[in-house]
Structure formats: structure tokens, C-alpha cells
Amino acid sequence: MQLDLNLLAALDALLEEGSVAGAAARLHVTAPAMSRSLGRIRRTTGDQILVRTGRTMTPTPYAIAVRQQVHELLHEVQRVLAPSRELDLATLERTFTLRWHDSLVALSGPALLAAVRREAPGVRLRFVAESDVDTPGLRRGEVDLEANADRAGAPDIRTEKVGETRVVIVVRQGHPLTRVRIVTAEQYAAAEHVTVSRRGNLGNALDDALARLGLTRRVVATAPTEAAALEFARASDLLISVPEATTRSAAAGLGLAVLPLPLELPPAPVHLSWHQRYDTDQAHAWLRGLARTALTVGGAS
């Protein structure tokens, strides 16, 4: 049997996108061309791969069963066929996409960009915002590096802890809690709070820690970013509880006070994540090293 390796790329795109139009856009081909590829895949495998259910396409049981294997095979083929050569940073031209927590972009992004521009002026960085839902950006190759508090659970995602930081309280100067010697858990719980959550969650691990003490707090609002939350604290007696490393500089610039958190809480971790397909990619490994340094020096350790 003679096999066309282009069909492997088409099959991978069809299984990832779940539609002919989506797969065509992903591979930069026309929809009719992708439809022809789907027809050839069906004849080769003897399976329909995608079947129409109303207005959408649904993968067959066979397609679901081989999806991960197809994905891995495609990248194995790409690694085999890609020429091996020494990395020349002076001539490297590449755009990397980074999905980092917004506070990490503000804290460590400038140092990373400066290092990249110094070593490889032809490289560009695309920092993109985190979504309010989990996305398969790393797996799909849409994102090169993620940096946040999450440890990825998927076996094909590499995750490295690059630092951690304690959670602190941030309030306006002159807030009643700035006038006490030590903030107690009871005083902390009695205040009104703003949480930071890109998903809009009103509760988090702090509420679990308070519950263990028989205490509850009143969360009056959520903010999608730490920068927005700091503005709430700046203009009111609201409390925000945030990682110290990512907010101490910003809090000082806004004239806010940073107080110790009166709860036993594990430090907030900072994780760097990427897909295993980039393990041996020299340019990606170089960027990972710079990102690791920037995140550590930036105060995450």
C-alpha cells in the first residue's frame, strides 16, 4: 500500500478541528481540497472518520480511538524529516506565542523580551491573554509556553515549577487593618473582599482555610486581573489577597499597603508548561531557558 503522508496531516487536523472547514483553515487549504482528502482517508481506512449530526460533525468511535496516536505519529514524522542543524540565534527568525498569567507578563515579561532582543533580534514574542475556559492551545501548537499557577495533568504536557510566592493582603494606605499590630484571622474574615479570577469565581482556597477555622468571609466582587483588583482596593476598604511577588511592586507604585496573611496557606506556585513535541526543539529550549530565568529573577522564587 502506498501512503500519502499529507493524509496524516489532514487526518490530524480533521480530528482536532472536528470539521472540514476548520481543518482547511488550519492547514491553509481550500474546503473542497480538504473534502477530497477526507474522501481519500475514508477509502484508505474504511471508516467515515466524521459523520454529520445535525449542523455539526461527530467523530466515529474509530476516529476517537486513534486521535492521539495520529497526533503523535505526525510529530514523529515531522521530527524525522526536519533537518538537524545548529541553532544560530543571530539569524533565527521565529514568532513564539506565550500564554502567561497577566501578572507574570507584567512582572517578568520585560526581562524576557530584553533577553530575547539581545540574543536573537529576529525573534518576536506574542503574549496572549488567558482564557476564562481551559483551552488545548499547547496541544494544538497554538501556544508555545504557558506560565501560571496550574500544573498540567495531561501526559503530553511538560510542566516545570519555576518558583513560588506567598499570598499577602493588599489594602489602601490608612485602612483600619494597617493600624493593628497583627491582623487576626477573625479581622481578616470580617472585612469585605474582592477575589481575582479570570473565570469569575467568588471562592478559592482561602475560603477553605477560613472554613477550617469556622470562619467565612464576604466576597463582594471578582476582578479578572490583579491590576483591576488593586484599583478596587485603592479606592475603598476592600481587601484583596494575591501572590506577593507579582503584586508588591505594583502595590507600592499605587501607594497600597501589603500585610501578612493570617492563615496557614501553601505558597502559590509558578509553573512553566509546554508540549512534549518541543522537547528537542533547540530554539524552544533556548526560549524556555530565558523564560525560566526571567520568571525566577522576577521574584517568583
Write out pLDDT tens, residues 246-275. Answer: 888 888 889 999 999 999 888 888 899 999
Indicate the average pLDDT of the chain: 88
Label residue 6 by pLDDT band (50, 70, 90). Answer: confident
Residue 180 pLDDT more than 80? Answer: yes
| pLDDT at residue 170 in the model | 96
Which pLDDT band, with edges at 50, 70 and 90, does 301 fall under?
Answer: very low
Q: What is the pLDDT of residue 187?
A: 96
More confident residue, 54 or 211: 211
Higher pLDDT, 128 or 3: 128
Q: What is the mean pLDDT of residues 226-242?
A: 92
Over the chain, what HEC string results?
CCCCHHHHHHHHHHHHHCCHHHHHHHHCCCHHHHHHHHHHHHHHHCCCCEEEECCEEEECHHHHHHHHHHHHHHHHHHHHHCCCCCCCCCCCCEEEEEEECHHHHHHHHHHHHHHHHHHCCCEEEEEECCCCCCCCHHHHCCCCEEEECCCCCCCCEEEEEEEEECEEEEEECCCHHHHCCCCCHHHHHHCEEEEECCCCCCCCHHHHHHHHCCCCCEEEEEECCHHHHHHHHHCCCCEEEEEHHHHHHHHHHCCEEEEECCCCCCCEEEEEEEEHHHCCCHHHHHHHHHHHHHHHHHHHC
